[in-house]
Amino acid sequence: MGDDQAEYAVEVPVPRPLRARARARARREGEPATIHLRIISPRDRSPEVVSLLANDPAVAHLIVVPDAGRRPAGDVVLCDVVREGASTVLDGLRALGVDHTGAISMETVEVTLSTAAEEAARAVPGLGVDAVVWDEIEQRTGEETTLSGAYLIFLTVAMIIAGIGVLLDQPILIVGAMVVGPEFGPLAALCVGIVRRRLSMVARSVLALAVGFPIAMLVTVFTTWAMTAMGLVSKEMLLAERPLTGFIWRPDALSWIVAFLAGVAGMLALTSAIQFLVNVAALVTAGIVTLLIQRLMWRRGARRTPTEMVVKRIAAADQ
């Protein structure tokens, strides 16, 4: 086949238990966080695309399959990119127009066992856990800006639950409303759209918020009237003191600080692997506490068992 001989990569399905063990091992051993790119490049752009990827230190496992693309037509280029260098690589591909004349697909690789990937991670400054892949964030938040029926239902249900939580002065219901509520999606998309200057994303986010909240508020008002008519809500409940939830409908400076910190935590959870670190910290803490309790119980049992046997023998002899 000459110089145009194709190279093929075969992906073998891995059973879930093996994938889980591999992920755990990779995290323990600090394997690099990588993103897999599948690119369809027009033939006239392929030399530039391959040159860009081959000369970028963040790229590993570069494979070129000539004329493999059919829709759109072109060469298929496969590679892995460490997260801390992914945005630069994607910006370079966009500059070549590959996203318009070809295609770029991206997926997160859960486990990468490769010396080449480790060398790429060392060659690029920064840490994968702190890296922000802007195209990934835009895609993820952009999906949350649609003013859909599901969005309106979830927002309305969350607001009704929150209203009942205030009436009953029950913070747990407020937490439940926060879990159900979908408003963080458009808020995050609004932030990303402003930072990235994506006017269409900003417009969709504003529309989802500007239309969704008034509708949810009106439905909540009608629901409260209906509960009042059924005798479930009384005037005394509306005028009662609410020491546990008063901060919600009477916000102060501390409420603003809490909301600000919540926004920081939410955006970090969206742009980084902070959730993994939180989970690991919780698991390690719980595991250590459990083992300490088990060891303490075992030691007490080991000390008491022989004594109890001697006491029983003395009592039996006395009888």
Q: How many CB atoms are located within 10 Å of the residue 90 CB?
A: 21
Q: What is the mean pLDDT of residues 183-209?
A: 84
Which tokens belong to 203?
């417009």
**Order of all β-strands in the sheet with 103-109:** 59-70, 73-82, 34-41, 103-109
Is 44 within 8 Å of 36 (Cβ atoms)?
A: no
Which tokens belong to 231?
């005798």
Give the pLDDT of residue 157: 92
Q: Which range (75-84, 282-291, 310-319) has the least confidence?
A: 310-319
Fold entry, domain 32-131: Alpha-Beta Plaits (3.30.70)
Q: Give residue 24's pLDDT band: very low, low, confident or very high (50, 70, 90).
A: very low
Give the pLDDT of residue 186: 85
Q: Which amino acid is at 16?
A: R
Is 42 within 8 Å of 72 (Cβ atoms)?
A: yes
pLDDT in tens, 139-175: 777 667 778 888 899 999 999 998 888 888 888 888 8
> Which of these, 140, 149, 219, lies nearest to 186 by C-alpha position?
140
Give the pLDDT of residue 20: 47
1 pLDDT more than 50: no
> pLDDT higher for 264 or 157?
157
305 pLDDT more than 80: no
Q: Which range (83-92, 281-290, 301-310) has the least confidence?
A: 301-310
Q: What is the mean pLDDT of residues 219-229?
A: 89
Highest averaged pLDDT of the listed ranges 21-35, 73-87, 180-194: 73-87
The rounded distance, in Å, linking the Cα atoms of 206 and 189 is 9
> pLDDT higher for 283 or 261?
261
96 Ramachandran zone, left/alpha/beta (phi>0; psi -120 to 50): alpha
Residues 6 or more apart whose CB falls under 8 angstroms from that of 77 comprise 37, 38, 39, 40, 41, 46, 49, 50, 53, 62, 63, 64, 65
pLDDT in tens, 33-63: 888 999 999 999 999 999 999 999 999 999 9
pTM higher than the cut 0.85: no
Helices 199-229, 149-168: inter-axial angle, 10-degree rounding: 50
Highest averaged pLDDT of the listed ranges 51-60, 184-193, 255-264: 51-60
Give the pLDDT of residue 6: 39
13 pLDDT more than 50: no
Q: Which range (30-34, 99-103, 183-187) has the least confidence?
A: 30-34
Q: Which range (12-21, 28-37, 102-111, 183-192) has the least confidence?
A: 12-21
Cβ-based burial of 308 (10 A; exposed 0-12, middle 13-18, buried ≥19): exposed
pLDDT in tens, 95-119: 999 989 999 998 888 778 888 888 8
> pLDDT higher for 69 or 29?
69
Contacts 24+ apart (CB under 8 A), 51-56: 52/89, 52/92, 52/93, 52/96, 53/77, 53/79, 53/89, 56/81, 56/85, 56/88, 56/89, 56/92
Helices 199-229, 134-142: inter-axial angle, 10-degree rounding: 40
Q: Which amino acid is at 159?
A: M
Is 88 within 8 Å of 153 (Cβ atoms)?
A: no
